[in-house]
Chain A
Amino acid sequence: MMGYRVVKRQEPLNWGSFFIFLVALVLSLSLSGAMLAVQGKPFLKGLYLLWDGGFGQLYALEDTLLKTIPIFLCALGVAVCFRMQIWNIGAEGQFALGAVGATWAVLTFPAAPAWVLIPLMLVCGAVAGGLWALVPALLRLRLGMNEIITTLMFNYIGILLLQYMVYGPWKDPASFGFPMTPMFPVAAVFAPVVGRIHWGIVLCAVVAVALWFFLYRTRLGFELLAGGENPRAARYARMPYNFLVVFVLVLCGALAGWAGVLETSTTLGRLQSNVMAGYGFTAIVVAWLARLRIPTIAVFSFLLAGLRVGVENLQLELQVPAAFGGIIEGLILLTVLAGQFFVWFTLQPRSKGED
């Protein structure tokens, strides 16, 4: 590095950033491959199995899409918050509350028909998740409490609340004492729309379009984006900054809550404490990797879901330890984020006569 100095670019790279992403991806995959090789596993076959497990077969694609849905919803919510520089890391707890809200709806109205129950679950899930995010928002506005801490702590409280309901008042009396709610009635399960993929995917599409429209075609959306760039200037321009803080947090809570509703209803069919699969935290990774842009978030959610699903195939066929998937994910995140350095800065060779 001796012969170079760091110079900030006039304009951040546009198409070049995609190229940098590719380089980062290749680097991380090569490192992963090297790790496979060190363990004595075939390197290219491993990468092929990773691809095949995530995208190579129709059922794999379906599995990946099913996993994409909750990640995408959470990531959208988190990205909206991050755009305003509200560092909400409470998506996991908001997901839990959404699941709890939907379960309340199902257990209170078990005989309701689907056209009543499904919207009711969505409303209750959104309200529960939104309320859960509202408290940190108010704490930030009224008491100046850092939302990173409050939302993080609320994760634990939310998950414990879910566990309390499942171990206590909502435990299925017929389940031999195992902590799970009774099975949901068929009316409470989102129906499949294509293959095994349920209506959640339509919800994702609707939310994505609505959010895009809101951010780029409405005044409030513009104020949100501006408020994120420079809160002080936004305040001077009399934009409703405080309202927006509450708004983005509640929105994220609602979206993460919907992810919780979908997961509880479709993958488990009842509420158990293992509905928590870390999607709230994965969403943060995805939102960062995608640089908070909606179409990119969709792509990255899909890719990350595919990685998670593909790693299982790798485990099954090559006996690679489960930790390997986490390592690859971490490597990709690190290299891509490090690569983003080059989007903003460049290295120029020092000329002979300098310093």
Chain B
Amino acid sequence: MRKLMLLLAAALLVFGGLTGCEKEKPAEKTATAESAAKQDSAPAATEEAPAEKEFKIGFVYVSPVGDAGWSYAHDQARMELEKRPGVTTSFVESVPEGADAERVILNMARKGYDMIFTTSYGYMDPTLKVAGQYPDITFMHCAGYKTAPNMSAYFGRVYQARYLTGMVAGRMTKSNVLGYVAAFPIPEVIRGINAFALGVRSVNPDAQVRVVWTKTWYDPATEKEAAKSLLDVGADVIAQHQDSPGPQEAAQERGVYSVGYNSDMSTFAPKAHLTSAVWNWQIFYDHVVDSVRDGSWQSGQYWWGLEHGIVDIAPFGDMVPQDVRDEVLAKKADIASGKVAVFTGPVKDQSGKIRIAEGEKAGDAALLGMDWFVEGVVGTTE
């Protein structure tokens, strides 16, 4: 018995060694075409290289890049950045917001990254902390509000795209009940729901938007179940503020419509998918990377919208009639040109109280701290 065990152990070690020797590649050459993103940080760090020092950009994602949603959209932009000469990028995915985030950001900072993008609201305090320790690195934090001399906050006015998707959904609903699968009751999500509801009611004043909270950014099973619960109360369009296409699939299975988020989710629900509110982060990332490299970067809050093209709506599904498309695209042009603002009064909240007066446009501060629902939304902000 003992001899057998020893033999087994030896065989394993040899096997392990052999596999290692075969497959180990020198650090410079990275692997096959299969891998999602290639970069090598090892040669980038040498100062005495004859060419200029590689510009290293790191990304921290809250969910896997394969989520076809939030992190996927950021990663698409990252891959565009990777194509630039002299730039290498890397990322760490599925980093929980909390203690782990600080460690990941710190490690990137220690390894000499020049710019670090942290792509979730929960990374705000860890990013701020590390930014204080590494003043030479530029930190870009998404979906938050704190800044520092070397840290900026950025987001996109995706509520504008949401308004447009609301218009489409409002025109396509027959039951006048729309479902919204939402993550956390924070201002960003509430604002999206409100914009969606305003869009729906601008074309269909009798419709209502019912909200369900999943308390997670990314959990396909939970999201799908939440969508089903909305379908059970008669919703025939499902919208979402989630990172996976789970709700889209639930809608397709029931034969109703859906509106996606983050990226074009039509491949997951071709019969159901009307449109999505999508991100084009590469427009912003190009600008910001350029500004760091040419020295013109300044700390601040960036909140670009349709006018820059950083948010948009995905191509319409085949089931959307031409007149709806024309109506929505016309409104999109109006918002992009600044002629129309989404949150323009009179806007009432759920209790009927006027929150935005007639003719008034809500300012950014009010939008950033939005914690109330507009009339027509069924649900609580708790």
Pair from one complex: yes
A-B CB proximity, top 6 nearest: A267-B99, A322-B94, A44-B20, A40-B31, A274-B98, A40-B32
A-B contact pairs, 15 of them (CB 8 A): A30-B12, A33-B20, A41-B23, A41-B31, A42-B27, A45-B24, A53-B107, A59-B110, A67-B99, A176-B145, A177-B190, A272-B122, A275-B98, A312-B95, A316-B91
In the complex, the answer to whether B368 meets A44 with C-beta atoms within 8 Å is: no
Residues of B within 8 A of A36 (CB): 23
Most buried by B among A59, A168, A317: A317
Task: Give the residues in chain B near A274, CB-CB below 8 Å.
Answer: 96-98, 122
> Which residue of chain B has its CB nearest to the CB of A349?
B1
A202 adjacent to chain B (CB < 8 Å): no
Decide: A316 near B90, CB < 8 A? Known: A43-B19, A45-B27, A176-B187.
yes
Query: Once bound together, how far apart are the Cα atoms of A274 and B90, in whole Å?
Result: 24
Q: Which residues of A contact B94 (CB under 8 A)?
A: 322-323
Judge whether B15 is part of the interface by a CB distance below 8 angstroms.
Answer: yes
Interface 9-residue window, one of B34-42, B279-287, B340-348: B34-42
5 extra interface residue pairs, beta carbon distance < 8 Å, beyond A33-B20, A42-B24, A67-B99 = A26-B12, A37-B23, A267-B102, A274-B122, A312-B92
Contacts of B38 in A (CB 8 A): 319
Tell me the count of chain B residues lying within 8 A, CB to CB, of chain A: 62
Would you call A22 an interface residue if the criterion is a C-beta within 8 Å of the partner chain's C-beta atoms?
yes
Closest to B370 in A: A177
Query: Which of these, A163, A313, A319, contacts B35 with CB under 8 Å?
Result: A319
Residues of A at under 8 Å CB distance from B?
19-20, 22-23, 26-27, 29-30, 33-34, 36-37, 39-45, 47, 53, 59, 63, 66-67, 163, 167-168, 176-179, 263, 267-269, 272-275, 277, 309, 312-313, 315-317, 319, 321-323, 346-348
Give complex CA distance A163, B186 in Å: 13
Contact B92 A178 (CB under 8 A): no
B174 within 8 A of A: no
Instruction: Note all chain A residues with C-beta closer than 8 A to B184.
Output: 179
Q: Which residues of the other chain, B, contact A322 by a CB distance below 8 angstroms?
A: 64, 92-95
B 55-97 to A, binary, CB cutoff 8 A, 1 in contact else 0:
0001000001010000000000000000000000011111111
Structural contact, B92 and A167, CB atoms closer than 8 A: no
Contact of B1 among A29, A178, A312, A347 (CB under 8 A): A347
| B12 neighbours in A (Cβ, 8 Å) | 23, 26-27, 30
Whether A313 lies near B32 (C-beta < 8 A) is no
Residue contact A272 to B98, C-beta cutoff 8 Å: yes
A45 to B31, CA, bound (A): 13
* Distance in Å: Cβ of B270 to nearest Cβ of chain A: 27
Determine whether the beta carbon of B187 is less than 8 Å from that of A323.
Answer: no
Closest A residue to B144 using CB positions: A178
Smallest distance from the beta carbon of A24 to chain B beta carbons, Å?
10
Q: Is the CB of B107 within 8 A of A178?
A: no
Q: Which residue of A lies closest to B371 (CB)?
A: A177
B320 sits at the interface (CB 8 A): no
Residues of chain B contacted by A312 (CB below 8 angstroms)? 92, 95, 100, 103-104, 107
Q: Which residues from A are CB-within-8-Å of B187? A: 176-178
Complex contact A277–B19 (CB within 8 A) = no
Q: Answer whether A26 and B13 are a contact pair too, CB < 8 Å, given A317-B41, A319-B38, A321-B64.
A: yes
User: Shortest Cβ distance from B97 into chain A, in angstroms?
Assistant: 4
Q: How far is the CB of B367 from chain A (nearest CB, A)?
A: 10
Task: State whether B23 touches A43 (Cβ < 8 A).
Answer: yes
Are A19 and B37 in contact, CB atoms less than 8 angstroms apart?
A: no
Q: Complex formed: what's the CA distance from A36 to B25 in Å? A: 12
B93 near A263 (CB under 8 angstroms)? no
Interfacial chain A residues near B302, Cβ < 8 Å: none
A30-B16, A263-B99, A312-B92 known; A40-B110 Cβ under 8 A = no
CB neighbours (8 Å) of B23 from chain A are: 36-37, 41-43
B81 CB to closest chain A CB (Å) equals: 15
Cβ contacts under 8 Å, B1 to chain A: 346-348
Task: State how many angstroms separate the Cβ of B331 from the closest Cβ of chain A.
Answer: 28
Inter-chain CA distance A205–B64, complex, in Å, is: 37
**Chain B stretch 172-219: residues in CB contact (< 8 A) with chain A:** 184-187, 190, 215
Judge whether B20 and A23 touch: CB under 8 Å. Answer: no
